[in-house]
């Protein structure tokens, strides 16, 4: 008899589990295939050969611990693939323990067949003074990535950043510069390993946390204000061309707590492959006392009158899509 109850109990747990996991629950603890809390902050997602790869900052309570990578087929369930980029054991390296690695993004270069990782690097013991972009490369999507170097793009300070690859394969580094008072964009070299001199101002606004996406030939940029780890109001910029002119269009967040981006800060906007108008807005809800415990906000991007907006949802699934 007890075997029957055990079977019913196991089935009930399995059914409840299935129901619970095929949805996003913004701000709740998110665990990987091993039951460990996902540690991939300020990150970005690469769609590669039928799988998604989530790269993000590996953090302990405060320190940077390298760049983690997870993989998934459905965006709900994530397998831990390990450290894509590890801290160097050589204490003279720029990426030795004590450095700060933020906002890692990986793109694939079709010409060279290499995966290229960019991130914001601060040097050990210098706070946020160095303001450099850093580059690493790998033959395999999950790494290990080989650290190449860091620099200031065209001599400009470079803190919060993202990468964007356009339909023609040209790639761009979008970054906060001049003590975060300028937002800039620089075109990458053909191998994606450095910037070209095509580097221009997006806006003379005090903004960071850039996330860029493209929809129906137009370019969209979501940013945050600059208040350290504390949440603030997001901004949307639009442009018909990647080098601008960019127009500021106000806060794209809607509903309760929208003026504080629901307690989060933009990290990335993920286009859903095969869907014309579906994007996921990805943000970090930082916990500055314990950065590894910072939570993730994944929310659907909706469209109204040709502009994107993001509304809070306690939970949602990919079935909740724009009609296309």
162 near ligand DGJ, judged by CB under 6 A: no
| Between 35 and 228, CB nearer to ligand DGJ | 228
Cα–Cα distances (Å) from 2 to 11, 141, 225, in that order, read: 14, 48, 59
| Between 71 and 294, CB nearer to ligand DGJ | 294
The interface mask with ligand DGJ, positions 186-215, x = CB under 6 A, is: ----------------------xx------
| Between 50 and 228, CB nearer to ligand DGJ | 228
Site for ligand DGJ in 65-124 (CB under 6 A): 102-103
Number of residues that bind ligand DGJ (CB under 6 A): 9
| Between 103 and 302, CB nearer to ligand DGJ | 103
| Between 103 and 313, CB nearer to ligand DGJ | 103
19 near ligand DGJ, judged by CB under 6 A: no
Cα–Cα distances (Å) from 22 to 249, 316, 317, 323, in that order, read: 34, 9, 7, 20
Radius of gyration for the chain, computed over Cα atoms and rounded to the nearest angstrom: 20
| Between 46 and 209, CB nearer to ligand DGJ | 209
Which residue of 156, 177, 207, 265 would you call a contact of ligand DGJ, by CB under 6 A? Answer: 265
Sequence-distant (6+) residues with CB within 8 A of 208 are 159, 160, 176, 180, 223, 224, 225, 226
- C-beta neighbour count of 181 within 10 angstroms: 14
- The DSSP bridge pattern shows strands 307-311 and 253-254 to be parallel
Site for ligand DGJ in 210-239 (CB under 6 A): 228-229
- C-beta neighbour count of 182 within 10 angstroms: 18
Residues 38, 100: Cα–Cα separation, whole Å: 19
Which residue of 32, 81, 160, 199 would you call a contact of ligand DGJ, by CB under 6 A? Answer: 160
- Residue with CB nearest ligand DGJ? 228
- Output the DSSP codes for 256-311: TTGGGGGG-EEEEEEEPTT-SS-EEEEEEE--TTSGGG-EEEEEEEEEETTEEEEE
| Between 114 and 173, CB nearer to ligand DGJ | 173
Which residue of 26, 42, 66, 308 would you call a contact of ligand DGJ, by CB under 6 A? Answer: 42
297 near ligand DGJ, judged by CB under 6 A: no
Strand partners, 72: 52
Q: Which residues bind ligand DGJ (CB under 6 A)?
A: 42, 102-103, 160, 208-209, 228-229, 265
């Amino acid at each position: 008899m007890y075997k029957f109850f055990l079977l019913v109990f196991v089935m009930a747990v399995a059914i409840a589990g299935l129901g619970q996991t095929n949805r996003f629950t913004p701000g709740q603890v998110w665990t990987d295939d091993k039951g460990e809390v996902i540690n991939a902050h300020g990150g970005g997602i690469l769609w590669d050969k039928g799988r998604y790869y989530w790269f993000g900052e590996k953090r302990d309570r405060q320190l940077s611990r390298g760049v983690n990578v997870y993989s998934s087929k459905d965006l709900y369930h994530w397998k831990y693939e390990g450290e894509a980029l590890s801290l160097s054991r050589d204490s003279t390296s720029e990426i030795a323990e004590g450095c700060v690695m933020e906002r890692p993004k990986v793109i694939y270069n079709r010409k060279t067949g290499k995966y290229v990782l960019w991130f914001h690097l601060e040097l050990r013991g210098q706070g946020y003074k160095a303001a450099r972009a850093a580059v690493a490369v790998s033959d395999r999507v999950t790494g290990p990535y080989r650290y190449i170097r860091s620099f200031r793009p065209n001599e400009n300070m470079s803190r919060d950043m993202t990468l964007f690859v356009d339909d023609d394969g040209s790639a761009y580094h979008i970054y906060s510069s001049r003590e975060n008072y300028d937002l800039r964009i620089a075109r990458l070299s053909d191998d994606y390993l450095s910037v070209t001199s095509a580097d221009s101002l997006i806006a003379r606004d005090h903004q960071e946390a850039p996330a860029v996406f493209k929809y129906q030939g137009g370019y969209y940029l979501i940013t945050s204000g600059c208040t350290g780890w504390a949440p603030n109001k997001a901004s949307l910029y639009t442009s018909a061309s990647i080098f601008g002119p960019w127009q500021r269009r106000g806060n794209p967040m809607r509903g309760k707590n929208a003026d504080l981006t629901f307690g989060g800060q933009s990290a990335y906007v993920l286009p859903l492959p095969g869907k014309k108008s579906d994007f996921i807005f990805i943000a970090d809800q930082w916990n500055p006392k314990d950065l590894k415990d910072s939570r993730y906000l994944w929310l659907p991007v909706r469209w109204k009158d040709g502009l994107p907006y993001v509304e809070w949802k306690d939970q949602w699934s990919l079935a909740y899509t724009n009609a296309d």
